[in-house]
Chain A
Amino acid sequence: MTTPRLEIDRISKRYGEVVALEEMAFDVRAGELFGFVGSNGAGKTTAMRIALGVLAADSGQVRWRGSPVDFDTRRRIGYMPEERGLYPKMKVGEQLVYLARLHGLSKAAARAAADSWTERLGVAARRNDPVEKLSLGNQQRVQLAAALIHDPEVLVLDEPFSGLDPVAVDVMSGVLTENTARGVPVIFSSHQLELVERLCDRVGIVAAGRMVACGTVDELRSGGPSQLLVHAPAAAPGWANRLPGVRVVSSDDGRAVLELEAGADDQAVLAAAAATGPVHEFAPRRPSLTDLFREVVTG
């Protein structure tokens, strides 16, 4: 049997004249942490809401384990919407128990789940406070607890890291990787690209309702032309300008980033650098996710 997958199969959605999603397609495998990045309004939230059935697509299909996601499947998905998604005046503990029971847990099981998740996420002391009395970061933790309360088979989280302090970011990433370790596909959107790069197995970059790049971070980063970072402190500016097949991307205080055409000889570059004096660093440079993102979104 193949690994269970959450498949987003060519979903489209328009609001009147505005195209929110166009043939958006990707999949998330069991145990995989999938990062969803894109500028504001690119369609990330729309795609997630469609996956959750909170919104209906105009066309396309969302499948889990090979069959279309229906109402019963959705009940086994954990969802954390952007902004808030809790009753402001309801107490933290009661709220979690309520949501757990709506998911079908018994009273006792719901209480136990609420207790253990508030404990795990460090908000146990706030169980009897109304949600609105908590700081935004703590509300976010409660929100995560709400998404996890019923041991979901799939996790879909919209901007789970926004507004969290570094400690909370660690707690959040810990919980997410823990879930992938037990075979749950986790999909989350974020603007914190370093975090996505560090955490995710695979990344999808969305622009204007389309998936423009999708793959592992390594795949994405090695996709572009190869670059070299050369640190030759004694070199005169412009030392690399005349090398064949080489373009200078940036040059700053003896550190040059060079882009090599296919077939260009990197050893010739090293020799030319060594000819200027000592070479402290000579390494292939791979674009960061941020670079890629900029390139994809602006280009």
Chain B
Amino acid sequence: MRAALERYESPLTHYAARMLNGDVERARDVVQDTFLKLWTADRASVDGHLGQWLYRVCRNRALDVCKKEMRMTALTETQLSMQADSRSEADRHDAAPTCASAFAAMQTLPQRQQEVIRLKFQGGLSYREIANVMDLTVTHVGVLIHTGLKAIREKMIASGTGPSRVPQSEVIQ
């Protein structure tokens, strides 16, 4: 159990924070709740796919929180404007053409592509697991990751920092 906490605490918090427009405090709450769930969960339902389980529970939690927040923003002006401020880079991806790293490039992608990429490369989940977490088909996940990686590569090349096209001769060996 502790190992699970160690392994997934930080990735999940990052993930939840992304889902929650960068709100780390709330992300921590979500992650804490996720692990509380894990403590009381039926072992059989978790064993063998811990990562997938955690990400899924975490995601559902975060979405719950998002939904609530949306309701509240409808009620209070302050919150509304706060939320507008905290809108993540995801919604501003047109505005940031230069990308110092693959990571920065990723952050310019649409939310969903970012999410699959995070699940893949941070969470280490397989396509199928990602599909289960996000309620998508495996094919859809494949397309999202493919498109995402391609976009990242192109953005990096455009900004001159990315891996340039590898000479073909190197590839062959």
Q: Do A and B bind?
A: no
